[in-house]
Structure 1
Amino acid sequence: MTNQQGQGLILIVLLSTFLTTASLIWYIRRRNKPLEYIEVGKVCKICIHPIKSCGGVYVQKAECTDRGIKAGELRDRKWMLVDKDNKYLVAKNEPSVALIKTSLSDDAHHLVLSAKGHPSIQVPLSPNRNAELVKAKLHESIVYGYDCGEEACMWISNVIKSNKTYRMIVHDGCVQGRKFKDHPVWKERFTGKEKALYQYMTQFHVNSIASLDELNHRMEEPLGLQQFRGNITVTGSNAFAEDHWTMLKIGSASFYRTHDCGRCPITMIDRENGKLGQAEPLRTLRKFRMLDKSHPDSKFQKSPVFGVNFNLLTKGNIEVGDTVYAVLQ
């Protein structure tokens, strides 16, 4: 090997070492780079659905906890209806459950149940721990809750008018709730440490006014927000911008995205007359909101997506008017 060749080889080795080191430094810096949050809109609605499948309660401010959204003792999906076999009520089979509206009593200690043509009743926000502790089945999970008594059972049965009798159970912090890790499709998105009450997919569902407006523009009969039963609604974003939000900061709370929300027949229930529709909004959504098979969330088969599911990252408080910041995908 000539002296010139030796010098060339040394130069190549040094250049290769430099590029490798530079690449490693770039990767480390990129990996440790702080997340970039940008403003994407503002909170315009906060909704708590106290009883699974029933009407929601809009609140001005709320606390975001590891068991879901709450305002005082009013918690999201804290109550659930079960049949005589302690299986949860499936709303598409009992669409009249949508007739049950909920609100907070004047003394803020009771949940008020009301329905057109029926006198309202109240149930305590705090569970009666001397009542029967019911072991119930919610999808793939075993959950527990305290029975809310005969008055609630009779009232619910009169409203639903089913050939089944339904009882209401209420969750308490000391009993087991829904385990998202039990879900056969989405279990890899969860660590197993997540806590829940009677929520199905995640503790928090986020959607936007612009997305609803875009859907309604494509339909003959417009729908309201309650049709999609979200917790946090954002205004000021573009339609379906939420598809690309991987992390959120709102108020003092933060969240991370788990997956898009596949919509089921419960969205077809007319929440004013308690009847199941035949097509909308699923028919229209399927025309432009089906995921491509290459999409990591494309596990919904015939279900279109609308809205996004989030889990809690940091506990905190949120309020209508808060700015929403997101990390984009």
Structure 2
Amino acid sequence: MLSKLVENFSAASPSKQALLVTAAVGGATLTAVGAYYVKKRIDNTPPKQWRKVGEINEIFIYPVKSCAPIKVSRTICSSIGPRRNLLRDRIFMVTNEDGKWVTARQKPKMVLIQPSFDDDYERMTLSAPGMDDISIELKLLFDEPSVTGIVWNEPVPTVDCGDEVAHWFSTYLTDKPSGYRLRFYPLNKTSRKKSDEDTGALQDETSYMLFNTATVEDLNTRLEQQVTVLQFRPSFVVKGPPAYAEDNWRWVKIGNTVFKYVKPCLRCVFTNIDPDKGVSSSDGQPLKTLKGYRKIPHLGESPAFGIHLGLRKAGEVSLGDSVYYG
């Protein structure tokens, strides 16, 4: 049969040969594209069976990237992260004058900046040691023009929050009247492609990160100076499973909200910043200890601690909700 096809092809005119080749290539391309979407659909289909492993012990939302979190008892899970009305995760970021993001890796005292919200979650107030409080009306920001900000070399649409709050951040971080700005992310979906649909608003990797209490407890048995969960800035902390059990969860269901495992959370020097003091440890801990037993060979020198998740079925998560994996 193959020889007959070759014979027919050879006997065809050059123009007909070109048409046959084009049709074959087009058919192969359509097959490849179809296979890609079928695989993607299968990969994003939750399992039919779930196993209960524990319950939600803590929920955190970090409205300003690299600053202190707000601990909540329940949250709505959206594609760009946990939220309560206009309290949304990593929806603000500090930048330099050029719009490039600045984190606590460069300015550890950022972790001492504490946001709070009014009862309607429409006004954010910022507090920091030695500074008067400053408030921002979030609804007004949606009427301001968009300017480009930069996160991990990716352009993102942002709104500048004005000179008054820029002066506040600059004074706190450098004792100078200028140098830093605060930017707001105005969209309800990601504008970034780094992790496809799972990259959030201004997050480093994905919209959600989870680990369990036993994982932190095991690490503390290896350290002289104890650490808390806030050293690792999770969205959700689970109580119940054994240490590092989350490494093997490829799907996570909390109540009726469903998440898919995206990647391990690889740790950097941010882990060494004390969330209560706003300074980095002088001995490189706990990152040094984590590197001794939590590195993944094909992922380089950064140790894994917790897992990044992508939302697959939106819903509400509350303290005490049962946690399942699949």
The TM-score normalised by the length of structure 1 is: 0.80
| SS in structure 2 at match of 1:63 | strand
Tell whether 2:230 aligns with 1:226.
yes
Alignment correspondent of 1:290: 295
Taking the aligned partners of 2:69 and 2:224, their CA distance within structure 1 comes to 25
Taking the aligned partners of 1:108 and 1:258, their CA distance within structure 2 comes to 30
Q: For 1:120-156, what per-residue CA distance to the aligned partner results, in whole angstroms no more than 9, with x for missing partners?
A: 1111233523434220111031101111111211111
Structure 1 residue 168: deviation in Å? Answer: 0.6
Tell whether 2:277 aligns with 1:273.
yes
Tell whether 2:254 aligns with 1:255.
no
Structure 1 residue 91: deviation in Å? Answer: 2.1
Tell whether 2:37 aligns with 1:38.
no
Taking the aligned partners of 1:127 and 1:216, their CA distance within structure 2 comes to 44
Tell whether 2:209 aligns with 1:205.
yes
Amino acid paired to 1:304? P
Residues 190, 197 of structure 2: 8 Å contact kept = no
Name stretches of at least 5 consecutive residues in structure 1 with no aligned partner: 1-30, 182-191
Alignment correspondent of 1:172: 186
Residues 180, 202 of structure 1: 8 Å contact kept = no
Alignment correspondent of 1:138: 151
Higher helix share: 2
Residues 100, 159 of structure 1: 8 Å contact kept = no
Distance 1:324 1:283, change over 3 A: same
- What percent of counterpart residues are identical? 31
Distance 1:177 1:97, change over 3 A: farther
Alignment correspondent of 2:101: 88
| SS in structure 1 at match of 2:251 | strand
Distance 1:236 1:176, change over 3 A: closer
Taking the TM superposition and a 5 Å limit, the aligned residue runs for 1:141-160 are 141-160=154-173
Tell whether 2:65 aligns with 1:52.
yes
Residues 209, 233 of structure 1: 8 Å contact kept = yes
The TM-score normalised by the length of structure 2 is: 0.81
Alignment correspondent of 1:14: none
Distance 1:204 1:256, change over 3 A: same
Taking the aligned partners of 1:245 and 1:197, their CA distance within structure 2 comes to 24
Residues 79, 189 of structure 2: 8 Å contact kept = no
Residues 138, 178 of structure 1: 8 Å contact kept = no
Taking the aligned partners of 1:71 and 1:208, their CA distance within structure 2 comes to 23
Distance 1:58 1:114, change over 3 A: same
Structure 1 residue 69: deviation in Å? Answer: 0.9
Name stretches of at least 5 consecutive residues in structure 2 with no aligned partner: 1-42
Q: 1:126 aligns with which of 122, 130, 139?
A: 139
| SS in structure 1 at match of 2:109 | helix
Structure 1 residue 66: deviation in Å? Answer: 1.0
Amino acid paired to 2:241? S
Residues 94, 103 of structure 2: 8 Å contact kept = no
Q: For 1:274-308, what per-residue CA distance to the aligned partner results, in whole angstroms no more than 9, with x for missing partners?
A: 222230110111121111x3xxxx32x21111000
Structure 1 residue 174: deviation in Å? Answer: 6.3
Tell whether 2:220 aligns with 1:216.
yes
Taking the aligned partners of 2:269 and 2:59, their CA distance within structure 1 comes to 23
Aligned residues, how many?
A: 281
Taking the aligned partners of 2:187 and 2:130, their CA distance within structure 1 comes to 34
Alignment correspondent of 2:122: 109
Taking the aligned partners of 2:278 and 2:76, their CA distance within structure 1 comes to 31
Alignment correspondent of 1:264: 268
Q: For 1:167-192, what per-residue CA distance to the aligned partner results, in whole angstroms no more than 9, with x for missing partners?
A: 111111268633324xxxxxxxxxx3
Alignment correspondent of 1:20: none
Q: For 1:250-273, what per-residue CA distance to the aligned partner results, in whole angstroms no more than 9, with x for missing partners?
A: 122100001110000011112233
| SS in structure 1 at match of 2:169 | helix
Structure 1 residue 238: deviation in Å? Answer: 0.5
Distance 1:105 1:244, change over 3 A: same
Amino acid paired to 1:170? F
Taking the aligned partners of 2:140 and 2:307, their CA distance within structure 1 comes to 31
Residues 248, 254 of structure 1: 8 Å contact kept = yes
Taking the aligned partners of 2:255 and 2:128, their CA distance within structure 1 comes to 34
